């Protein structure tokens, strides 16, 4: 830890006050209220009030804590690129003053506390005495601690960029300093000559606003208005106020107050040396030349009319009045009694308020109604004398006449309720949709299962997939909107299907179970064995076993009909085998000739939970399966086994008797 950081601990012992952050309220002690400076002047600050303690991003990476302590901030613009030299001379030379320079072009001044990219140069040396930037400096960054010199090298400024310079007094003293610029090649002196720009009268000339060509010192303005004269002398200037001077050192606008309203006509404001001995001074103490003028016209004063309403939405319950000049907030009756609303529907006003906040005037008044206007038509809002004894008075205290009114149109609310009809078909269903278009509806959007399907008033939707359908309609008359939805069940799907045995053994009966879908009215069975049936659950069927082949297939068919007289057909092949007696061959010849190439349990159609295992003569398991159609090809790990005897074990549950059957035997591989 460097000495400067350690010194903070020592200071805390003697002054608890110095160890905590404290808000700065003196002008110049925050980035947003920085002193505007000029390169030709020396700036003296006799005291540095205690405040600050906000952390700063400093590129030192030494573990020391850096913050503004008893700070003052200075702002300036570079008018010519080059190096910046400056000198800070403490009033008390054993004070430890530090500084840091930031480039804040296009940034919020308070970004200096968080944005390390704004850094330009600094000197946080722990040594006391003179400090600054000069040709004697060797680097732009000097961190905390006594090993660092008090002067840094001169930073390069960029023309057109804005800068903030922080001065911070690390010592517990509140003694001030002097700040002067020089030694560098950059120019921070604004070359613009200050002038009067424009003048504008308000409220019949009681107030006259002056616009200046650049920022001028607030302190150079004589509060009694003696910096200005009026011609013709139809009134007297009794005061002058700089706009923004309560929170800044400079201004670019001045408001002059007259002794009374001026008569309508053309006037000239002339600047002169006031009671303070000068005109207005810029930040480099250059004055506006005495005798400069600005002209303005005073127009006959008129009360602010009822101007306009914001766009009327659907079912409005608030009307927003817009005025061209501010209305005095104190003249708006809070109970809304300044206004009445009439029209096709009954409407009551319950309150009124302006966008006042901390201001005395508002250009917007919100008129609150007792409820939304549902009925469409032409309405009127009319001004009357409220319970406060007046209508509305503007910033010039001119009263808008009672009886003033504005007509406005309210659109009808709309309903998206719609009608539908369903036409069931055998392959395609149709839903016909319609809307009555009441209350000026001119926009329709139809959706089916959240997918847009049309924008006509009446449409038909065709479905080849049946089931539940969600139909939604959104409507609008250009102002009001509504939506409605219904669920329609297309339950006329028809699909013929039946369940049957995988295999039919000799003497077994085949049971057929209807699995058809739909509102079925009739069944027509044909089992392929010459038998037909017209009942849903036919009797089990017998099939003749093949005599010359191991298996034979019969074709079964089911035709179903629903309540819409639609038909569907399902056909299946019924496999009938010549035997279901399970046997394991005692020999096989795995020579890939297509004859007796595999070992497996034959005809295991009725074997449930089957396990078939084969062992070699050493008792090693060489094959295992739980699927009787999976066959052993006479190999182990891909290696063909030689001629020899193998033992097999077969176990299963007989489907008819549900008994566990275990069989053992041997088989021979013949090569």
pLDDT band at 385 (very low <50, low <70, confident <90, very high): very high
For 60-64, which contacts have Cβ atoms below 8 Å and span 24 or more sequence positions?
60/124, 60/141, 60/143, 60/144, 62/2, 62/143, 62/144, 62/145, 63/1, 63/2, 63/5, 64/1, 64/2, 64/4, 64/5, 64/124, 64/143, 64/144, 64/145
Looking at domain 419-490, which of 2.40.50.100, 3.40.50.300, 1.10.357.10, 2.60.40.10 is its CATH number?
Answer: 2.60.40.10
Measuring CA to CA, which residue among 333, 326, 331 is closest to residue 350? 333
Domain boundaries, the chain: 3-181, 196-298, 308-410, 419-490, 498-577, 587-669
Question: Is 15's pLDDT higher than 60?
Answer: no
Question: For the segment 200-216, what is each residue's pLDDT rounded down to a tens digit?
Answer: 998 888 899 999 999 99
249 CB contacts (<8 Å, ≥6 apart)? 27, 28, 33, 35, 36, 217, 218, 219, 283
pLDDT band at 638 (very low <50, low <70, confident <90, very high): confident
568 φ, ψ to 5°? -145, 150
pLDDT band at 406 (very low <50, low <70, confident <90, very high): very high
140 CB contacts (<8 Å, ≥6 apart)? 120, 121, 122, 152, 153, 155
Question: Is 13's pLDDT higher than 70?
Answer: no
**According to CATH, what is the number of the domain 498-577?**
2.60.40.10
- Quote the pLDDT of residue 302: 85
- Quote the pLDDT of residue 145: 92
Question: For the segment 553-573, what is each residue's pLDDT rounded down to a tens digit?
Answer: 999 999 999 999 999 999 999
DSSP for 11-23 reads HHHH-GGGGS-B-
| Mean pLDDT computed over 218-245 | 95
Architecture of the CATH domain 3-181: Sandwich (2.60)
| Mean pLDDT computed over 141-164 | 97
Question: Is 189's pLDDT higher than 60?
Answer: yes
pLDDT band at 12 (very low <50, low <70, confident <90, very high): very low
Mean pLDDT of all residues in the chain?
93
Question: For the segment 316-355, what is each residue's pLDDT rounded down to a tens digit?
Answer: 999 999 998 899 999 999 999 999 999 999 999 999 999 9
- Quote the pLDDT of residue 18: 43
**According to CATH, what is the number of the domain 196-298?**
2.60.40.1220
266 φ, ψ to 5°? -95, 140
Measuring CA to CA, which residue among 480, 492, 490 is closest to residue 420? 490
Give the integer Cα–Cα distance in Å for 208 and 269: 9
Give the Cα-Cα-Cα angle 427, 431, 433 (nearest 5 degrees): 165
Question: Is 10's pLDDT higher than 70?
Answer: no
Q: Domain 587-669, what fold?
A: Immunoglobulin-like (2.60.40)
- Quote the pLDDT of residue 6: 37
Question: For the segment 53-93, what is each residue's pLDDT rounded down to a tens digit?
Answer: 999 999 998 988 899 999 999 999 999 999 999 999 999 99
- State what percent of residues in the chain have pLDDT above 90: 88
Give the integer Cα–Cα distance in Å for 649 and 667: 11
- Quote the pLDDT of residue 268: 97
Question: Is 2's pLDDT higher than 90?
Answer: no
Query: Helix-strand-coil percent breakdown of the chain, rounded to 5?
Result: 5, 45, 50
pLDDT band at 40 (very low <50, low <70, confident <90, very high): confident
- Looking from the CA of 269 toward its CB, the CA atoms found within 13 Å total 33
Given this structure, which CATH class describes domain 308-410? mainly beta
Question: For the segment 641-656, what is each residue's pLDDT rounded down to a tens digit?
Answer: 999 999 999 999 999 8
Question: For the segment 604-635, what is each residue's pLDDT rounded down to a tens digit?
Answer: 999 999 999 999 988 999 999 999 999 999 99
Question: For the segment 248-267, what is each residue's pLDDT rounded down to a tens digit?
Answer: 999 999 999 999 889 999 99
- Quote the pLDDT of residue 359: 76
Structure tokens at 414: 């709309």
Question: For the segment 297-308, what is each residue's pLDDT rounded down to a tens digit?
Answer: 998 888 899 999
Domain pair 419-490 / 587-669, same fold? yes
């Amino acid at each position: 830890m460097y000495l400067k950081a350690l010194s903070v601990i020592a200071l805390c012992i003697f002054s608890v006050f110095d160890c905590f952050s404290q808000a700065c309220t003196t002008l110049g002690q925050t980035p947003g209220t920085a002193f505007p400076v000029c390169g030709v002047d020396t700036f003296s600050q006799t005291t540095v009030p205690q405040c600050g303690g906000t952390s700063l991003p400093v590129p030192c990476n030494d573990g020391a804590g850096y913050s503004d302590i008893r700070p003052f901030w200075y702002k300036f613009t570079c008018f010519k690129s080059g190096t910046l030299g400056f000198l800070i001379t403490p009033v008390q030379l054993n004070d430890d003053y530090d500084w840091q320079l930031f480039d804040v072009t296009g940034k919020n001044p308070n970004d200096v506390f968080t944005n390390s990219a704004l850094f330009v140069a600094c000197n946080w040396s722990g040594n006391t005495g003179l400090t600054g930037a000069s040709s004697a400096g060797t680097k732009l960054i000097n961190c905390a601690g006594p090993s660092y010199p008090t002067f840094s090298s001169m930073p390069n400024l960029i023309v057109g960029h804005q800068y903030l310079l922080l001065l911070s007094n690390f010592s517990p003293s509140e003694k001030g300093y002097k700040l002067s610029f020089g030694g560098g090649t950059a120019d921070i002196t604004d070359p613009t000559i200050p002038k009067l720009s424009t003048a504008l009268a308000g409220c019949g000339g009681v107030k006259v606003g002056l616009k200046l060509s650049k920022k001028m010192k607030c302190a150079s303005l004589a509060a009694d208005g003696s910096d200005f004269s009026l011609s013709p002398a139809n009134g007297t200037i009794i005061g002058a106020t700089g706009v923004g001077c309560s929170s800044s050192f400079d201004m670019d606008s001045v408001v002059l107050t007259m002794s009374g309203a001026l008569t309508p006509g053309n006037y000239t404001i002339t600047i002169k040396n006031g009671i303070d001995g000068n005109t207005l001074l810029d930040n480099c103490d250059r004055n506006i030349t005495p005798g400069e003028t600005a002209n303005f016209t005073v127009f006959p004063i008129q009360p602010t009319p009822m101007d306009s309403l914001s766009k009327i939405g659907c079912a409005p319950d608030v009307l927003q009045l817009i005025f061209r000049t501010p209305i005095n907030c104190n003249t708006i009756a809070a109970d809304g009694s300044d206004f009445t609303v009439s029209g096709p529907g009954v409407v009551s006003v319950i309150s009124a308020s302006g966008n006042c906040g901390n201001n005395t005037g508002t250009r917007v008044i919100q008129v609150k109604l007792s409820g939304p206007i549902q009925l469409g038509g032409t309405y009127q809002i009319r001004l009357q004398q409220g319970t406060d004894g007046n209508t509305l008075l503007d910033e010039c205290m001119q009263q808008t006449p009672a009886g003033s009114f504005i007509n406005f149109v309210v659109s009808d609310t709309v309903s998206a309720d719609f009608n539908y009809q369903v036409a069931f078909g055998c392959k395609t269903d149709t839903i016909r949709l319609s809307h009555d278009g009441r209350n000026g509806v001119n926009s329709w959007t139809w959706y089916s299962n959240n997918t847009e399907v049309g924008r006509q008033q009446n449409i038909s939707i065709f479905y080849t997939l049946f089931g539940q359908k969600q139909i939604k309609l959104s409507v609008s008359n250009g102002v009001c909107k509504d939506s409605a939805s219904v669920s329609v069940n297309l339950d006329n799907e028809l699909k013929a299907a039946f369940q049957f045995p995988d295999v039919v053994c000799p003497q077994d009966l085949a049971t057929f179970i209807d699995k058809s879908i739909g509102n079925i009215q009739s069944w027509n069975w044909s089992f392929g064995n010459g038998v037909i049936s017209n009942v849903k659950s036919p009797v089990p069927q017998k099939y003749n076993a093949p005599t010359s082949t191991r298996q034979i297939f019969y074709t079964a068919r089911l035709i179903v009909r629903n309540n819409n007289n639609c038909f569907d057909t399902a056909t299946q092949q019924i496999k009938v085998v010549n035997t279901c007696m399970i046997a394991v061959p005692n020999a096989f010849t795995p020579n890939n000739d297509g004859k007796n190439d595999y070992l497996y349990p034959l005809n295991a159609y009725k074997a449930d939970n089957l396990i078939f295992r084969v062992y070699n003569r050493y008792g090693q398991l060489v094959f295992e399966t739980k699927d009787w159609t999976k066959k052993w090809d006479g190999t182990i790990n891909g290696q063909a086994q030689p001629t020899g005897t193998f033992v097999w074990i077969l176990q299963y549950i007989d489907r008819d008797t549900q008994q566990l059957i275990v069989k053992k035997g041997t088989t021979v591989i013949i090569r």
